Structure 1
Amino acid sequence: MKKGWGSYTALANWYNFIYRPIFAGNGPDEHDEVTKLALLASVAKNLSSKCHRVEIAPIPEEDHAASLTERAFEQAGWVVFKSKADDNHILVVNGRTFDQYWAERPGQLRNTVRRKAKKNIVSIRVETEFSEEHWADYCDVYSKSWKPEEGNPDFLKNIAQQEAKAGCLRLGLAYIDGRPVAAQFWTVENGEALIHKLAHIADATKSSPGTLLSVAMFQHVMDVDGVKLIDFGTGNDPYKREWMEEVRTRYRLEMFWPNNPLSWLPILRYRMSALVGKRGSL
Structure 2
Amino acid sequence: MQGNGEDQANDDAARAAGFAAPFDRAEWFDLLAAHGFAGQGRLDARGSANGTAARLPLRIERPGHLAGLTNWYSFAIRPLFSGGSDHRAALLALFRDLRSQAARLTLYPVRDEDRAGIASALRDAGWWVKANPFGDRHWLDLSDLDHDRWWASRPGALRSTVQRKAKKGIVAVELLTTFDPGSWAAYEQIYAASWKPEEGDPALLRAFAEMESARGTFRMGIARIEGAPVAAQFWTVEDGTAFIHKLAHVEDSLKASPGTLLSAALFRYVIEVDGVKRVDFGTGNDAYKRDWMNRHERLWRIEAFNPSRVAAWGPALKAFARSLLRKEK
TM-score (norm 1): 0.90
**Alpha carbons 2:138, 2:283 under 8 Å: kept:** yes
Counterpart selection for 1:244 from 284, 293, 298 = 293
Counterpart selection for 1:187 from 213, 236, 240 = 236
Shift of 1:274: 2.8
Counterpart selection for 1:77 from 126, 139, 142 = 126
Counterpart selection for 2:206 from 141, 157, 163 = 157
Helix, strand or coil at the partner of 1:135: helix
Q: Is 1:208 matched with 2:286? A: no
Match of 2:153 in 1: 104
Percent identical pairs in the alignment equals: 45
Aligned residues: 268
Q: Which has the larger radius of gyration?
A: 1
Report matched runs for 1:1-282 at 5 Å.
Answer: 6-24=64-82, 26=83, 28-29=84-85, 35-62=86-113, 65-280=114-329
Shift of 1:253: 0.7
Deviation string 1:78-113 (CA, Å, 9 cap, x unpaired) is 100001122110111123232221111111111222
**Alpha carbons 1:5, 1:262 under 8 Å: kept:** no
Summarize the Cα distance change of 1:184–1:268 in structure 2 as closer, same or farther, 3 Å threshold.
same
**Alpha carbons 2:242, 2:280 under 8 Å: kept:** yes
**Alpha carbons 2:130, 2:320 under 8 Å: kept:** no
Shift of 1:209: 0.4
Provide the rounded CA distance (Å) in 2 between the counterparts of 1:207 and 1:61: 37
Shift of 1:194: 0.4
TM-score (norm 2): 0.78
Greater relative contact order, per chain length (Cα 8 Å cut-off, separation 6+): 1
AA aligned to 1:19 is I
Match of 1:32 in 2: none
Provide the rounded CA distance (Å) in 1 between the counterparts of 2:327 and 2:281: 33
Match of 2:3 in 1: none
Provide the rounded CA distance (Å) in 1 between the counterparts of 2:193 and 2:130: 41
Shift of 1:203: 0.8
Task: In structure 2, list runs of 5 or more residues that go unmatched.
Answer: 1-61
Provide the rounded CA distance (Å) in 1 between the counterparts of 2:327 and 2:150: 42
The RMSD of aligned alpha carbons is 1.6
Deviation string 1:148-202 (CA, Å, 9 cap, x unpaired) is 2222222211221121122211100000000000000000111100000001000
**Alpha carbons 2:137, 2:284 under 8 Å: kept:** yes
Task: In structure 1, list runs of 5 or more residues that go unmatched.
Answer: 30-34
Provide the rounded CA distance (Å) in 1 between the counterparts of 2:217 and 2:299: 25
